[in-house]
Amino acid sequence: MNAMNFIINSTMKLPSTLLNLRNALFLGSRHRFNLPCCEDKLFYKSKASLLNFSKNSQFHAYPSRFVGFQRVINNAQKFNCLPSSVFARPRAVPMPNGFSVQAVVASKVRDLSTSAETGINDKNFERIHVQNGINVKTLVERIDTDKNLVGGENPLTEDGNNVKNIGEGLGNGKNGVSIDSAIEKEAWDLLRDSVVSYCGFPVGTVAANDPGDKQPLNYDQVFIRDFVPSALAFLLKGEGEIVKNFLLHTLQLQSWEKTVDCYSPGQGLMPASFKVRTVPIDDNKFEEVLDPDFGESAIGRVAPVDSGLWWIILLRAYGKITGDYSLQERVDVQTGMKLILNLCLADGFDMFPSLLVTDGSCMIDRRMGIHGHPLEIQALFYAALRSSREILSVNEGSKNLVRTINNRLNALSFHIREYYWVDMKKINEIYRYKTEEYSMDATNKFNIYPEQIPSWLMDWVPEEGGYLIGNLQPAHMDFRFFTLGNLWSIVSSLGTPKQNEGILNLIESKWDDIVGHMPLKICYPAVENEEWRIITGSDPKNTPWSYHNGGSWPTLLWQFTLACVKMGRLELAQKAIALAEKRLSRDHWPEYYDTRSGKFIGKQSRLYQTWTIAGFLTSKMMVENPEMSSLLFWGEDYELLEICVCALSKSGRVKCSRGAAKSQILV
């Protein structure tokens, strides 16, 4: 205790070098660097509440939680930083052979109003403030004592066999996964070569590690969405430290100021990517800093809406696979998650429960006509909400947020299932729509004109299948098939069980269109000719059947495999994996493939793309150990479907269509 008091009292002020870093001009532009990795000053809010060394408190140490200590290195020592010996080195929770994970059942939330209050102004909601010119998270004075998880996740709907055999799987070598083929050994070597270290600790993987690429642009950065398959590969192999470090360091970056042309977005925004930079502080002395990109350097300057959603999904996956739920219970982690949710659930002008976003705000990060309410964002949003429902601690400060999550989950699931789904029957119904209906009982609620139905769609949709359309707005339906959104609708149970089965039936029926020579098309069909010029702005990278415009992306393989595992269609996943295995190593692990059938390597495709490598490895492990994979998806939540926000209204004008549609929903 005396040593700790000495450290705190002797480092009350940050060195001027660090303060100057906040306004440093790096490469001609103003970047917000995070603090150096080796630090020994504690964040504190008041002398009464920061350090509580009582028997009930926990102190979690990791490299970037202590600030103020300059790590001074010379050229030869640049990448050999070690943390101060005063503090323990963070390690992932070990997973010994025979370790058994017990399913965590979320507690029910009872006697809570179902009004759609956002709780934005809740006094107990954690905020961020600026201290000494550097953004610092405000610590909560009271650490939550109620460890119950937020309600509604009925274990019977999560597939009761999900965790039954996990102990045996973990006891069989490395989670029951054997690495036999030369291709898999090569993939693991490449994946490990892509690991980025910060202060001697692994914190992520670069987007691509192509030795022949002379202009990497931002492919040498760690992207949140790109790291997810890498994280799952490491987790399924029993190596959780890199994932834990990644989650905590990106959480630290969340609090940095983000400004584009004098305007700053919401506090909960997570960066699209970050890079470890080595900056000089004195003669022959350097230090490592994390330089985040929140979209201010991205093409089009678009904020990454999906980054925060992927972060929450990965946080849940880390707990499920490792059994280390202490990370989720940390105050800073709970606070960061609430900030993301606060940003997503804020009230606006929209009449729909789906998230309204601009073009290019997700995996499709260029202009492709997905602005509005794209399915990909809605499916990830739904998965993140369900993850938060399991993770959030129940207390007075989170009660309103829990209520809002329940309401949004209910409204979003109904909205997507009812209005985004198309099969042969629904297309025929749209074909006969009446327009200009002004009524509470209108059938054509979005005033969709039948002439919008594209000619290719009539003969493309099979009799025994269907899919969720790409976008829905007033007087507009985007009938393109977007693979990621449909796969995550299966994984998260955003679609009904019947709809989920129909999506896989469609993929199987239209295998040559969606899979072809390389799984899987990012969307189908491509926009061409005048439509391409209008929708993409004549984008030379998104030419027809290339890149985001109908290109084939091998990283989608792991998400397809997970959907197949959930629906008991392993043969489809194995067929797709076999196709990929024939070419990926030979083609040097490309980012994407071109042409209608995915025959050619993409004309601007980076080689040795990390999420291509990680997606392949993750797919192989999921097929070999489906019991472990089952921890990553959600079952149908029938209890959630019984909640109806419309029942709260006292107005006679509100008429809910849920009752009429329930026969279609609960199938």
pLDDT digits (tens, 9 = 90+) for 537-569: 999 999 999 999 999 999 999 999 999 999 999
In sequence order, what DSSP letters do the residues of 278-302 get, joined into one string? Answer: EEEEETTEEEEEEEEESSSSSTT--
Residue type at 97 in one-letter notation: N
User: What does the alpha-carbon distance between residue 574 and residue 564 come to, in Å, rounded to a whole number?
Assistant: 9
Check whether 103 has a pLDDT greater than 70.
no
Residue 222 phi, psi dihedral angles, 5° rounding: -95, 115
CA torsion sign for 425, 427, 432, 434 is positive
Spell out the long-range contacts of 193-197 with Cβ–Cβ below 8 A and sequence spacing 24 or more: 194/230, 194/608, 194/610, 194/613, 195/242, 196/222, 196/276, 197/79, 197/276
Band of residue 149 on the pLDDT scale cut at 50, 70, 90: very low
- pLDDT per position as a tens digit, 205-234: 999 999 888 888 899 999 999 999 999 999
Residue 162 phi, psi dihedral angles, 5° rounding: -55, -40
User: What does the alpha-carbon distance between residue 100 and residue 274 come to, in Å, rounded to a whole number?
Assistant: 35
- 50-67: burial string, b at 16+ Cβ within 10 Å, e else: eeeeeeeeeeeebbbbbb
Query: How is residue 316 written in tokens?
Result: 């849940």
User: What does the alpha-carbon distance between residue 298 and residue 650 come to, in Å, rounded to a whole number?
Assistant: 46
Of 316, 317, 256, the residue nearest 618 (C-alpha): 317
Q: How far is CA 467 from CA 420, 478, 482, in A?
A: 8, 12, 9
Rg (the chain; Cα; Å): 25
List 197's β-bridge partners, or say none: 202
DSSP 500: H
- What SS3 state is found at 48? coil
- 180-212: burial string, b at 16+ Cβ within 10 Å, e else: eeebbeebbebbeebbbbbbebbbbbbbbbbee
* Average of per-residue pLDDT across 446-461: 94
List 263's β-bridge partners, or say none: 260
User: What does the alpha-carbon distance between residue 211 and residue 483 come to, in Å, rounded to a whole number?
Assistant: 30
Largest Cα separation within the chain, whole Å, is 79
- 549-567: burial string, b at 16+ Cβ within 10 Å, e else: bbbbbbbbbbbbbbbbbbb
pLDDT at 138: 33
DSSP 29: E
List 472's β-bridge partners, or say none: 477
Q: How far is CA 155 from CA 38, 159, 160, 639, in A?
A: 43, 7, 6, 11
Asked if 374 and 357 touch (Cβ cutoff 8 Å), the reply is yes
Q: Which domains does the chain have, with CATH numbers?
A: 194-660 (1.50.10.10)
pLDDT at 609: 98
Whether cis (ω within 30° of 0) applies to the bond prior to 211 is no
Check whether 199 has a pLDDT greater than 70.
yes
- What SS3 state is found at 128? strand
pLDDT at 646: 55
* Tally of CA atoms within 13 A in the half-sphere of 554 that contains its CB: 38
User: Among the listed ranges 154-168, 258-272, 608-622, 627-641, which one has the minimum average pLDDT value?
Assistant: 154-168
Check whether 657 has a pLDDT greater than 80.
no
Check whether 328 has a pLDDT greater than 90.
yes
Check whether 452 has a pLDDT greater than 50.
yes
CA dihedral of 134, 136, 138, 144, whole degrees rounded to 10? -170
Check whether 81 has a pLDDT greater than 50.
no
* Average of per-residue pLDDT across 656-662: 49
- As a whole number, the mean pLDDT across the chain is 77
Q: How far is CA 249 from CA 50, 124, 202, 220, 399, in A?
A: 20, 24, 11, 17, 28
User: What does the alpha-carbon distance between residue 589 and residue 573 come to, in Å, rounded to a whole number?
Assistant: 19
Of 633, 658, 614, the residue nearest 236 (C-alpha): 614
473 membership: H or E segment, kind and range:
strand 471-473
CA dihedral of 202, 208, 213, 214, whole degrees rounded to 10? -50
- pLDDT per position as a tens digit, 389-417: 999 998 888 999 999 999 999 999 999 99
pLDDT at 269: 92
Asked if 296 and 304 touch (Cβ cutoff 8 Å), the reply is no
User: Among the listed ranges 55-64, 484-493, 589-598, 640-649, which one has the minimum average pLDDT value?
Assistant: 55-64
pTM of the model: 0.75
User: What does the alpha-carbon distance between residue 361 and residue 304 come to, in Å, rounded to a whole number?
Assistant: 5
